[in-house]
Structure 1
């Protein structure tokens, strides 16, 4: 494993459905090498729970997530939805989009490092809430 790939000390929390979806993404090999290694490690340590047992502050499908770019201090808000419901014009992003895969399973307050199209970025998850 690449020593540059650091995973959180706190395991991510996923439903079994999300876990399986992420495993399928790994199998399709659409992620960068960095993200593939990181996601593989995260899934090895992930806690799988029923969707009714996902804590309110954990990022999953049908949640609104605000992240702050650690380098630029810019804030971004994403509405994470099922892949078939993603509509950019409504700011609805697929849970399988780069930012969706990066933050899924993490809790509000977590620092997430992920390779985005413009390079490796660090984000702080500042707010997680259910979509209305």
Structure 2
């Protein structure tokens, strides 16, 4: 089954491409989730920030996810690695679940390999999306 083609903004893609060139990426170079993120970016539909649909998870979005195995619902903010703090529910784009949700929409089922095996989550709600609220997701 082919993977879903995600939607990301050109600004998010640019900043994520910079992340691949960073010293942080050098530390993670042989990690499968860095390759997973690369694959997602290669397949993505790239749009201008003002063109991204309001129900798509972008960087710095706050999203409510339901774990379909446990029925547990959690809220996360999808962030760049230097801002990640799971105690504050700030999920790094380099975490398996962070990579998995980028570009997905409210109502989508996200199936992804995580350290504990295969997971499945439903995007329940997008509480905040910078582009929808007219805020740049990353500095120019």
Mark the CA change 1:73 to 1:89 in structure 2 (over 3 Å): closer, same or farther.
closer
| Cα deviation, residue 29, structure 1 | 3.7
TM-score by length of 2: 0.71
Structure 2 counterparts to residues 66-77 of structure 1, below 5 A: 66-77=64-75
How many pairs align?
122
- 1:57 alignment partner, SS class: coil
Does 1:98 find its partner at 2:96? yes
Q: Deviations over 1:102-132 (max 9, x none)?
A: 1000111111110011001111111112169
Choose the corresponding residue for 1:18, options 12, 17, 38.
Answer: 12
- Alignment root-mean-square deviation, CA: 2.8
Q: What residue is the counterpart of 2:134 in the other structure?
A: none
- Contact kept, 8 Å, 2:57 with 2:129, in 1: the verdict is no
Deviates more, 1:69-78 or 1:13-22: 13-22
Change beyond 3 A, Cα 1:79–1:120? same
* Matched residue, 1:51: 49
Structure 2 residue runs without a partner (length 5+) = 131-140
TM-score, structure 1 length as denominator? 0.74
**Cα displacement string for residues 56-109 of structure 1 (whole angstroms, at most 9, x for unaligned residues):** 210111111111111221112111122222222322122222211010001111
